[in-house]
Amino acid sequence: MLMNQTKATPDEIESILKFKEKLSIDVIEDCEEKQLVTILEEDLPDPKAVDLCEFHFSDFPITEHGLIKCGLRLFFEINVVEKFKVPVEVLTRWMYTVRKGYRSVTYHNWRHGFNVGQTMFTLLMTGRLKKYYTDLEAFAMLAAAFCHDIDHRGTNNLYQMKSTSPLAKLHGSSILERHHLEYSKTLLQDESLNIFQNLNKRQFETVIHLFEVAIIATDLALYFKKRTMFQKIVDACEKMETEEEAIKYITIDPTKKEIIMAMMMTACDLSAITKPWEVQSQVALLVASEFWEQGDLERTVLQQQPIPMMDRNKKDELPKLQVGFIDFVCTFVYKEFSRFHQEVTPMLNGLQNNRMEWKSLADEYDAKVKVMEEEVKKQEEGNMTEKGAYDERVVDKQLKRYSKDGERVSNSTNELPKHLTS
């Protein structure tokens, strides 16, 4: 079926989907199995000790190994491990393999993947959005969040299309998102990694469907199309008198649940913009650096001029670009979620604080540019004045010379014989 719908060659498809070779899963029994045993033997972190349940959580103080254990803890916190009979060693191997599936790119790496999973957990539990979803749905949403950018290449969908990459040939739309989805589903085909192995057929089909909804929703192009639908749900719930009425309004309609889920994925994916300034400012530089790396590729490989956001020669414009990103992309989702559930307000507060910080830096940069422009203008005016004075001196000198020449001509004429002057 897949072969009939793609322009990619069989070799290209095989190279894309051969995750076992990439991750060396076939040799997991030796050195990597020892690391898995180590994780199994170690205590999982206390959620309170590392702020796992907080919107302001930061991964910076935690090692990548530590993040694997934090991820495991989250599944226990939502009480799905025992309920769905998930073998702990399978969950550990899956989490470890997901971490390995993320490439060592500047931003879209395992740390970003983990942060999206942690934010999904926090929206469900601290943000109290779990009340609209079953335990199975929450299980799928959390797992999908961890997987949402697996095997990201550090370049966006547009670059995949422009470079006619194998992924672009394989997937017609939402190119990277569909790749992340297929990669995630392929992992689950391995019984030693299938954390949903004890579900019945119907439950497993539900999980796969939710993976599709959640991961594809991280394509921002789709986010803009669904914003109005989400806003209508929030408007309707705001008019309801009781919480029970709102829960019933949403839970009886699978479409509403999926729209909210899609918006949750966007809120998770962009959550770095809501973190404390000391975290957000550093993460923004990582995002920008990855964009600049793509811009370099566009120049060298595609022979094209990158847009300002991807152009490292315009890095001083980052604060201004961040303000624009906050205003035109981010504000809506956090504003609406804060209206929908006041427990999510800390994300909006963080966003607004970061906007003030970026705006201050943008204004500071604009002020410097204005001073420089005024200095250049003054210098140009000074040069023009000096040139004008120089021109006047030259003209004056020429006039004097002409005047002297005229006198000489006049004198010479007076001295000529009369028959030549008559």
Catalytic pick from 65, 108, 179, 180?
A: 108
Structure-token match 């913009």, residue found? 273
How do residues 117-131 score in pLDDT, each as one tens digit?
999 999 999 999 999
Which residues lie below 8 Å from residue 369, measured CB to CB, with a gap of 6+?
none
**Higher-pLDDT residue of 59, 399:** 59
Residues making up the binding site for Zn(2+): 112, 148-149, 269
pLDDT of res. 377: 83
Nearest to 212 by CA among 157, 165, 273, 147: 147
pLDDT of res. 373: 87
Checking if the pLDDT of 42 tops 90, the result is no
Checking if the pLDDT of 178 tops 80, the result is yes
Q: Is 171 marked active-site?
A: no
Residues making up the binding site for AMP: 108-112, 149, 269, 322
How far from the centroid of its chain's Cα atoms is residue 161's Cα? 18
* Rounded Cα distance, 128 and 125, in Å: 5
* Sign of the alpha-carbon torsion through 63, 68, 73, 74: positive
Structure-token match 């607004």, residue found? 352
Least confident of 21-35, 63-77, 151-165, 311-325: 21-35
Sequential DSSP letters for 144-157: HHHHTTTT--SS-H
Mean pLDDT of 310-332: 98
User: Is CATH 2.20.140.10 the right assignment for the domain spanning 44-367?
Assistant: no
Checking if the pLDDT of 394 tops 90, the result is no
pLDDT of res. 12: 47
pLDDT of res. 11: 56
What is the value of pTM for the model shown? 0.84
